[in-house]
Amino acid sequence: MITLENVSKTYGGTSGIVALRDVSIHVKEGEFLVILGPSGAGKSTLMRCINRLVEPTSGRILLDGREVTSRRRQLRAARRDIGMVFQQFNLVKRLSVLMNVLSGRLAYHTFWPSLLYKFDQDDKRVAIECLTRVNMEHKAFQRADTLSGGEQQRVAIARALAQEPKVILADEPVASLDPKIARQVLTYLKQIAGELGITVLCNLHQVEYAREYAERVVGLSQGTVVFDGPSGKLTDDILQQIYYRDPEAADDDG
Ligand SMILES: Nc1ncnc2c1ncn2[C@@H]1O[C@H](COP(=O)(O)OP(=O)(O)O)[C@@H](O)[C@H]1O
Ligand SMILES: [Mg+2]
As for how many domains the chain has, the answer is 2
Whether residue 17 has its Cβ less than 6 Å from ligand 1? yes
At 68 the pLDDT is 87
Region label for 134, one of left (φ > 0), alpha (ψ between -120 and 50) or beta (otherwise): alpha
CATH assignment of the domain containing 51:
3.40.50.300
Whether residue 13 has its Cβ less than 6 Å from ligand 1? no
This model's pTM is above 0.85: yes
Whether residue 12 has its Cβ less than 6 Å from ligand 1? yes
Whether residue 254 has its Cβ less than 6 Å from ligand 1? yes
Q: Which of 84-88, 137-141, 216-220, 246-250 has the lowest mean pLDDT?
A: 246-250
pLDDT band for position 71 (50/70/90)?
confident
Ligand 1 atom, smallest distance to 249 CA: 25
Q: Residue 39 falls within a domain, yes or no?
A: yes
pLDDT over 80 (residue 210):
yes
- Can you name the residues that pair with 27 across neighbouring β-strands? 2
| Structural domain boundaries, residue 142 | 90-164
Q: Are residues 75 and 140 in the same domain?
A: no
Over residues 106-131, mean pLDDT: 77
Q: Which of 102-106, 134-138, 220-224 has the lowest mean pLDDT?
A: 102-106
Look up residue 140 and give its DSSP letter: T
CA of 196 to the centre of ligand 1 (A): 32
Q: Residue 206 falls within a domain, yes or no?
A: yes
pLDDT over 80 (residue 201):
yes
At 249 the pLDDT is 60
Q: Are residues 73 and 170 in the same domain?
A: yes
Q: Are residues 53 and 77 in the same domain?
A: yes
Q: Residue 240 falls within a domain, yes or no?
A: no
Residue nearest to atom 16 of ligand 1 (CA): 42
DSSP per position, 14-59? TTSEEEEEEEEEEE-TT-EEEEE--TTSSHHHHHHHHTTSS--SEE
pLDDT band for position 105 (50/70/90)?
confident
Ligand 1 atom, smallest distance to 39 CA: 23
CA of 230 to the centre of ligand 2 (A): 22
Ligand 1 atom, smallest distance to 46 CA: 17
Q: Which of 73-77, 123-127, 135-139 has the lowest mean pLDDT?
A: 73-77
Q: Are residues 30 and 154 in the same domain?
A: no
Alpha-carbon gap, residue 251 to 241, rounded angstroms: 19
Q: Are residues 225 and 117 in the same domain?
A: no
Q: Are residues 36 and 110 in the same domain?
A: no
pLDDT band for position 253 (50/70/90)?
very low
Over residues 177-184, mean pLDDT: 98
* Sheet with 2-11, edge to edge strand ranges: 17-27, 2-11, 58-63, 66-67
pLDDT over 50 (residue 6):
yes
Q: Which of 164, 190, 223 is the last residue before a domain boundary? A: 164
pLDDT over 90 (residue 194):
yes
Ligand 1 atom, smallest distance to 37 CA: 22
Q: Are residues 60 and 173 in the same domain?
A: yes
Q: What percent of the chain has pLDDT over 70?
A: 92
Give the type of residue at 149.
Answer: G
> Using alpha carbons only, how large is the chain's radius of gyration in Å?
18
pLDDT over 50 (residue 254):
no
At 244 the pLDDT is 85
pLDDT band for position 117 (50/70/90)?
low
Which ligand is the nearest neighbour of the Cα of 35?
Answer: 1
CA of 10 to the centre of ligand 1 (A): 9
Q: Are residues 68 and 131 in the same domain?
A: no
Burial code of 53-87, b = ≥16 C-beta within 10 A, e = fewer?
Answer: ebebbebebebeeeebeeeeeeeeebbebbbbbbb
Whether residue 11 has its Cβ less than 6 Å from ligand 1? yes
Q: Are residues 70 and 171 in the same domain?
A: yes
